[in-house]
Amino acid sequence: MSELDLIREYFSHVGVARRDVALGVGDDCALLRVPRGFELAVSIDTLTAGVHFLANADPDSIGHKALAVGLSDLAAMGAEPAWATLALTLPTADRRWVGAFCRGFARLAESHGVQLVGGDTTRGPLSVTVQVHGLVPGGTAVRRLGARPGDRIWVTGTLGDAGLTLRHLEAGEPVSPYLRERLDRPLPRVAAGLSLRGLASAMIDVSDGLAADLGHILEASGVGAEIALPALPLSPEVAGYVDSTADWTLPLASGDDYELCFTVPPDRCGGVEALAEPSDCRPTVIGVITEKPGLRCIQADGGDWRPSRAGYDHFAEGG
């Protein structure tokens, strides 16, 4: 039995054992049962060494994050996580590395009732692709295209933590445990996403930065938005950074937040306020959907804020 075969053994029992799995890891295909009346929500994502994580990053964190990214996509549709498949490309068959990777993956899988049902292990530059599979009652998934003028814009948790952590790391500066955790082990907002079915008119997860991802909602819905920069939910660390630099690109565009951004008609906002979310991911109103296209970011003095560096496709040209 080769080392890669031994590694495949690790994947046989990752996550919970679900009754809707007719056949898991170990045959040509897994066999899965979708309950009647439900739609299957699927999303596939690759994390590559040197792009999405440092090649020497803690494998436990890489395992966690590879699954978290997908669960965040399920959360953004209001889908309940069910199954995952994993394609792992490894430069060497390092069983210790894979053991730690699986622990990180498995812990998050268990906390969301997910079973790993299929895997492929190949040799090559380090890279992880995960597909997540979730279930959602037919016709109830929350898409990007339902935002209407007047809808309030909400975001869960805080923005810019992962971006600030990366900056500190790149500068060789110390990083608080809170910030490090926000970069390495983001917690997908699955419970919030499920609660928002029937309340949110549009939803997306914030993976590329609020401006870009809210931009996708605006584009899909054919609307614009105004957001109030002082209303953005920030951790003390990011608030301190913005206070001292006046640089809003960090909370608006640094990515890797894995929060949910969603829109809610005004008469349903009470329902969002009533959600029993834990304090670290409670949603905050940050703005309103407008008929006029583009994204306006309004500062405390009422003036428009414009980014000083390029790359913000989704900021309105005209403000």
Q: Is 133 in the site for its own copies (CB under 8 A)?
A: yes
How far apart are CB 52 and its own copies at their closest, in Å? 7
User: What kind and span of H or E run contains 235?
Assistant: none
Determine the Cα–Cα distance for residues 183 and 135; give it in Å rounded to an integer. 27
135: phi then psi, degrees, rounded to nearest 5: -120, 140
- When the beta carbons of 142 and 238 are compared against its own copies, the nearer one is 142
Q: Is 141 in the site for its own copies (CB under 8 A)?
A: yes
How far apart are CB 230 and its own copies at their closest, in Å? 28
How far apart are CB 241 and its own copies at their closest, in Å? 26
User: What kind and span of H or E run contains 180?
Assistant: helix 177-184
How far apart are CB 291 and its own copies at their closest, in Å? 23
Contact 185/255 with Cβ under 8 angstroms?
Answer: no
Among positions 63-102, residues that touch its own copies (CB under 8 A) are 73-74, 76-77, 79, 85-87, 89
Residue type, 296: R
Size of the site for its own copies (CB under 8 A): 60
Q: Which two tokens stand for residue 116?
A: 């790993």
How far apart are CB 225 and its own copies at their closest, in Å? 18
| Of the candidate residues 46, 111, 176, 284, the single one contacting its own copies (CB under 8 A) | 46
Contact 223/285 with Cβ under 8 angstroms?
Answer: no
- Angle, alpha carbons 222-224-226 (nearest 5°): 160
| Of the candidate residues 8, 11, 15, 45, the single one contacting its own copies (CB under 8 A) | 45
| Of the candidate residues 9, 12, 22, 246, the single one contacting its own copies (CB under 8 A) | 22
Q: Is 29 in the site for its own copies (CB under 8 A)?
A: yes
Determine the Cα–Cα distance for residues 238 and 78; give it in Å rounded to an integer. 28
- When the beta carbons of 52 and 180 are compared against its own copies, the nearer one is 52
| Of the candidate residues 129, 176, 255, 293, the single one contacting its own copies (CB under 8 A) | 129
3-state secondary structure of 190: helix
Sign of CA dihedral 183, 187, 188, 189: negative
Strand residue runs (E) in 152-194 = 152-155
String marking each residue 220-259 x if it binds its own copies according to CB under 8 A: x---------------------------------------
User: What kind and span of H or E run contains 221?
Assistant: helix 210-221
Determine the Cα–Cα distance for residues 123 and 88; give it in Å rounded to an integer. 8
Enumerate binding residues for its own copies (CB under 8 A): 1-2, 22-23, 26-34, 36, 39-52, 73-74, 76-77, 79, 85-87, 89, 117-120, 122-125, 127, 129, 131, 133-134, 136, 138, 141, 143-144, 203-205, 220, 313
